[in-house]
RNA sequence: GACCCUAUCGUCUAGUGGUUAGGACAUCAGGUUUUCAUCCUGAAAACCGGGGUUCGACUCCCCGUAGGGUCGCCA
């Protein structure tokens, strides 16, 4: 049975890199029907925060990366680590180190100055029992691992055979004291205790692997499989960071990126199915994902691609869902909450009766909003863009830029006058009628000013009058939603 | 600096000794369209360099070069 874990430390939010690691773990595990564990690595209490923990958990859920066990928290498992630390000390595989941090820093500087690798000088490695006991009284120590001289070899699922010489690894610290293990130690203990079979993590942790294997060996733990994912770089090939734009999943969520798009995008950061297919839902990925196909070279974060995928998934959404997603971004309306609410037994949910346009106090329905959103489904790259795109529907008064109403330099007013006149006489406000009347009108109008047939003479000023924007959805669709009265009203406004 | 990793269009990549080096995003041109977007058609665009091995290297080996990662009482 395959068991994996995603083990973030709550010292930061869930970001692109993190999330990709979580996704690959999830895909690998679920494909094999294994168990996916979430473990919060909060051994460093000073840097850990529940705010980050919450962010990680919520965004993981939002992405649809579900875990089967956990979240476990290392801070609640201190007694477990203590047992193993003692074991290593008793077996003389670890030792107390009493060197002060100042001492260590000075040593390090000296080593640097003569061009040596900076390693702990093993000063406390062979203290006598008496000395240790005496110094222990002062209660100022850390615990170091007695790194044996050997070659550590392991088979990385992605990178193949990797070898490290422990000459390059010093007696690294494994715990601040009996109750406070450090990362490399806590990881090994937890992975063993939780029966983890595969460790899938970022390439940045590759240099830690031999240390962890050494601890596993010292404790007699079984060998574990490792897979190190390539790092994610910014477009300038530097490590992905804030200056490349948003890194937090939360930020993408807020900007209106779809969960589906982000998953599809993340999956292709360092992986692809060896085929030309590029559109994958999380379920499709579950079928085709394979850890062996993960690349060794760094992946580059390309926002253009994310935008493209986002637009694609927005176009695929059904209109009801899309409208719901857009709702929070339409700030010129507010939901009308019924005073009658479901009793708690029914979930205590509020029933939304409709929506009120803030400026005009008009009441509109969800279905009305659906019509508006559907005009922009094909034009949306991010959900957040809906705010600007649809604002003209909810404003009392539009502001028109000078020159906006004119088509190819022709004066807008005669056109608007006859449009107004024609529309005034329409009996049935339907798409077919509007289409026919406006098309006929375009022809007539073009002829009257001795131009070739060009719907622009009519359609452009009408559209501009209705929206006040230089680009938008089509005027007939908009007029249909606006209704006769409002449409004529806007034409009047525009003429002024 | 030491150790480790990597290298195909601008970007993501397919390719596993013989290919017109394929696809996607982005770019550009054309079509549809009142505008924008969508959609359709097309174009331009790549094997880091040098040595080997081989009848033949993008592909295998070596050396450069470039980029990245790591060197904590952080994770």
The pLDDT of residue A349 is 56
* Alpha-carbon separation of residue A269 from A205, A281, A296, A303, A465 (angstroms): 18, 15, 11, 12, 45
Residues of chain A with CATH 3.40.50.620: 3-75+232-307, 77-229
- Residues 395-454 of chain A sitting with CB below 7 angstroms of strand B: 407, 454
Domain A3-75+232-307 fold is Rossmann fold (3.40.50)
ipTM of predicted complex: 0.91
CA angle A286, A292, A294 (to 5 degrees): 80
Is residue A346 pLDDT above 80, yes or no? no
pLDDT, averaged across chain A: 90
Are A194 and A72 contacting, i.e. CB atoms less than 8 angstroms apart?
yes
Segment A148-162 shows an average pLDDT of 88
Strand B bases with any atom < 7 A from protein Cβ: 1-8, 10-15, 22-26, 33-39, 67-75
| First-last CA distance in chain A | 75
Looking at chain A, the domain(s) classified CATH 1.10.10.350 span 412-495
Does the C-beta of A316 come within 7 A of strand B? no
Average pLDDT, integer, range A365-371: 95
Q: Which of residues 248-307 of A touch strand B (CB under 7 A)?
A: 268-272, 274-276, 278, 293, 295-300, 302, 304-305, 307
CA A191 to C1' B7, in angstroms, rounded, equals 34
| Lowest-confidence region among A84-88, A150-154, A263-267, A315-319 | A150-154
Signed CA dihedral, A344, A349, A353, A355: sign only? positive
Q: Name residue A162's beta-bridge partners.
A: A154
Using a 7 Å CB cutoff, list residues 169-208 of A near strand B. 172-173, 176, 182-184, 203-208
Considering A170-179, A395-404, A426-435, the range whose residues carry the highest mean pLDDT is: A170-179
When pLDDT is averaged across residues A277-295 and rounded to a whole number, the result is 90
Closest alpha carbon to A303 in A254, A236, A387: A236
Q: For B6, which residue's CA is nearest its C1'? A: A297
CATH number attached to the domain at A412-495: 1.10.10.350
The pLDDT of residue A325: 95
Proximity of residue A459 CB to strand B below 7 A:
yes
CA of A454 to C1' of B32 (A): 15
Tokens 């209106």, located at residue? A256
In tens, the pLDDT along A204-251 reads 899 999 999 999 999 999 989 999 999 998 877 777 777 777 789 999
Return the pLDDT at A373: 96
Predicted local confidence at residue A344, as pLDDT: 54
pLDDT in tens, A80-93: 999 999 999 999 99
What is the pTM for the complete model shown?
Answer: 0.91
**Biggest CA-to-CA distance, chain A:** 110
User: Is the minimum distance from the CB of A238 to strand B below 7 Å?
Assistant: yes
Q: Which CATH architecture has domain A77-229?
A: 3-Layer(aba) Sandwich (3.40)
A416 falls in which pLDDT band (50, 70, 90)?
A: confident
């Amino acid at each position: 049975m395959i068991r994996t874990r995603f083990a973030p430390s709550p010292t930061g939010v869930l970001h692109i890199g993190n999330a990709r690691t979580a996704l690959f773990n999830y895909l690998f595990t679920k494909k094999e029907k294994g168990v996916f564990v979430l473990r919060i690595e909060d051994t460093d209490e000073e840097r850990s925060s529940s705010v980050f923990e919450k962010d990680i958990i919520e965004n993981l859920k939002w992405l649809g990366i579900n875990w089967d066990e956990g979240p476990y928290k290392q801070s609640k498992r201190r007694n477990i680590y203590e047992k193993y630390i003692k074991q290593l000390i008793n077996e003389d595989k670890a030792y107390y180190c009493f060197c002060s941090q100042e001492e260590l820093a000075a040593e390090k500087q000296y080593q640097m100055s003569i061009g040596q690798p900076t390693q702990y000088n093993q000063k406390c490695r062979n203290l006598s029992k008496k000395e240790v006991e005496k110094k222990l009284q002062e209660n100022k120590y850390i615990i170091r691992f007695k790194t044996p001289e050997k070659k550590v070899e392991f088979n990385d699922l992605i990178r193949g055979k990797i070898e490290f010489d422990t000459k390059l690894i010093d007696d690294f610290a494994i715990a601040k004291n009996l109750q406070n293990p450090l990362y490399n130690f806590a990881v090994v203990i937890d992975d063993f205790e939780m029966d983890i079979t595969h460790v899938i993590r970022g390439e940045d942790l590759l240099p830690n692997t031999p240390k962890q294997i050494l601890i596993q060996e010292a404790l007699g733990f079984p060998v574990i499989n490792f897979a190190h994912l390539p790092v994610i770089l910014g477009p300038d090939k530097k490590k992905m960071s804030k200056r490349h734009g948003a890194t937090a999943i939360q930020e993408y969520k807020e900007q209106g990126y779809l969960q589906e798009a982000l998953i599809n995008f993340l999956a292709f950061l360092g992986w692809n199915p060896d085929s030309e297919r590029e559109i994958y839902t999380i379920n499709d990925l579950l079928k085709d994902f394979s850890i062996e196909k993960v690349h060794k070279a760094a992946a580059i974060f390309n926002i253009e691609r994310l935008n493209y995928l986002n637009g694609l998934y927005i176009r695929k959404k059904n209109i009801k869902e899309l409208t719901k997603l857009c709702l929070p971004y339409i700030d010129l309306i507010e939901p009308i909450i019924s005073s009658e609410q479901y009793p708690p037994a029914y979930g205590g949910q509020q029933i939304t009766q409709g929506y009120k346009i803030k400026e005009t106090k008009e009441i509109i329905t969800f279905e009305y909003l659906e019509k508006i959103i559907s005009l922009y489904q094909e034009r949306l790259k991010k959900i957040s863009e809906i705010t600007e795109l649809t604002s003209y529907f909810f404003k009392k008064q539009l502001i028109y830029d000078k020159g906006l109403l004119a088509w190819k330099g022709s004066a807008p007013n005669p056109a608007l006058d006859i449009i107004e006149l024609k529309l005034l006489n329409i009996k049935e406000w339907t798409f077919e009628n509007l289409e026919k009347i406006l098309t006929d009108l375009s022809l007539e109008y073009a002829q009257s000013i001795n131009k070739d047939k060009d719907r622009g003479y009519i359609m452009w000023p009408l559209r501009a009058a209705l929206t006040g924007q230089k680009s938008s959805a089509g005027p007939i669709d908009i007029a249909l939603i606006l209704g006769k009265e409002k449409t004529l009203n806007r034409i009047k406004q525009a003429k002024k």
